[in-house]
Amino acid sequence: MPRILIPTPLRPYTDKQDAVDVAGATVGELLADLTRKHSGLKTHLYNDQGKLRSFVNVYVNDEDIRYLQKEQTPVKSEDTVSIIPSVAGGVETAAPAPPAPPRGSALTNDEYKRYSRHLIMPEVGLDGQLKLKAAKVLCIGAGGLGSPVAMYLAAAGVGTLGIVDFDTVDFSNLQRQILHGTPDVGRPKLASAKDRLNALNPNVNIETYETALTSENALKLFEPYDVIVDGTDNFPTRYLVNDACVLLGKPNAYGSIFRFEGQASVFAMKEGPCYRCLYPEPPPPGLVPSCAEGGVLGVLPGLVGVIQATEAIKLILGTGEPLIGRFLIVDALRMKFRELRLRKDPACPVCGTHPTVTKLIDYEQFCGIRPAAPEPVAVNAATEITSTELKQRLDRGDKLIVVDVREPHEYQINRIPGSLLIPLGDVPKRYNELDPDLEIVTQCKSGVRSAKAADFLRSVGFKKVLNLKGGILDWVDKVDPSQPKY
């Protein structure tokens, strides 16, 4: 019987299984059987018209079904079927010409000592080290991915390292963002990063840009750099980075992370695919959880970030085989690396034969975060309840039940007294445990997952459902500051 491999973000909807045995002779039949067994997956895999969503790719072995027979692709029992959603092989192409060292450039005696292990490698040598010294790399973000990228590029001797960020260091960053330390909490990340990188290698010129990356400034920021490294953590900026790289002809060393899984590739090369070739459209807001909602293993950004830094160095040196047309998937829990082939999509709106995106657009609107036209429709207050209102009602003894839709390990950290734990992925199977005559308040960490649970309960007939605005974090802030936050 064939099996479908389930990525981490979708496992809450398969009883946490990483592979599901399914019946069928084609991909479409297998997916239909999968969604029959695990109905919660259907909205993630298919749109309202019953079509496979464009931000979900399906592979048979290492081939994208879009380039086979799509959902009619036949599957044998020994084949591996993989679902590859945005978390947001196959193309022979040359790497960009590496930057030429400026005339008269040379290494100092201290640099000969510092880079000695590079200099004795024939793939690098003195010429390669001079290319690194002449190179300029821009890193988008000084967080989980940006930290190892920046540190290893600085250590390698990249001459100019630019960093774009506008955040401050928070305690929750320190589990993975190794550019920053405990004394840096509250400081701008760029200040902390610059101090750390200067201490690591004072020969590197660190350029910092304390600003949000936007359609207005991206092209100007990218233009002086040879390679762009995408360390972003949201879809609007990811699509912005991709499009700007394609328009300028800059290679995009891409990486993304979630829990134990990571992805890496090199996009926007002339003969290779771009990010939009893989995911033409972003998922709807809230459908794909962020690291703040889903968590991330602290060392995973190190694994993926080092891959990104490696790809940037190879592009600069003009050596090896960059991840162009290849999509690397890292499973840190099993310590497995899988590679899938990517192809340039001739119909891609950015890098295709007849591009329709010829300038940067409004990426928040593109990702559905902001409507195309002003809509004076506020959040329906009748579907939400604040922490203080909930506390008052609980103290009065009102007949209501608080349903916590987080995962059990989150419930161990903090909770609303008396709440019932039903993880979001289990709600479709366990909603019959709830009394439809009682008022129900759904609750999660920040209100995103619980809003989905509330919508589902209403869809199956529950009339009195409220979502806790701001989730447990707001409850701790407003009602019970003795509990820890995460």
Quote the tokens at residue 402: 């608080």
Distance of CA 318 to the CA centre of its chain: 28
Instruction: Give residue 292's identity as a one-letter amino acid code.
Output: A
For residue 265, give both structure tokens: 């590739």
User: How many Å apart are CA 231 and CA 148, to the nearest integer?
Assistant: 10
> One of 291, 348, 351, 367 is an active-site residue; which one?
291
Residue 149: closest CA among 302, 324, 328, 261: 302
Task: Report the interhelical angle of 189-200 vs 146-156 (nearest 10°).
Answer: 30
- Measured from the Cβ of residue 381, the count of other Cβ atoms closer than 10 Å reads 9
Q: Which residues pair with 110 in a beta bridge?
A: none
Helix ranges (H only) for 249-367 are 275-278, 291-294, 300-317, 363-366
Could you count the other beta carbons within 10 Å of the beta carbon of residue 299?
A: 14
Q: Which residues pair with 60 in a beta bridge?
A: 63, 81
What would the two tokens of residue 486 be? 């995460």
**Tally of CB atoms within 10 A around 224:** 11
CB-count exposure of residue 176 (10 Å: 0-12, 13-18, 19+): buried
Radius of gyration in angstroms for the set of CA atoms belonging to the chain, rounded to a whole number:
24
Q: How far is CA 64 from CA 343, 344, 345, in A?
A: 9, 12, 12
Query: Cα separation of 209 and 151, whole Å?
Result: 17
H or E segment to which residue 20 belongs: strand 19-21
- Strand ranges (E), 343-433: 384-385, 400-404, 420-421
Strand partners, 336: 331
- Phi, psi dihedral angles at 454 (to 5 degrees): -65, -45
CA 399 to chain centroid: 40
Beta bridge partners of 83: 58
> Which tokens sit at 353?
């034969």
Active site (annotated) includes residue 291: yes
Q: Render 40-52 in DSSP notation, one character per residue.
A: GGHHHHB-TTSPB
- Is residue 139 part of the annotated active site? The answer reads no
The active-site residue, picked from 274, 348, 351, 444, is: 444
Which residues are known to be catalytic?
291, 444
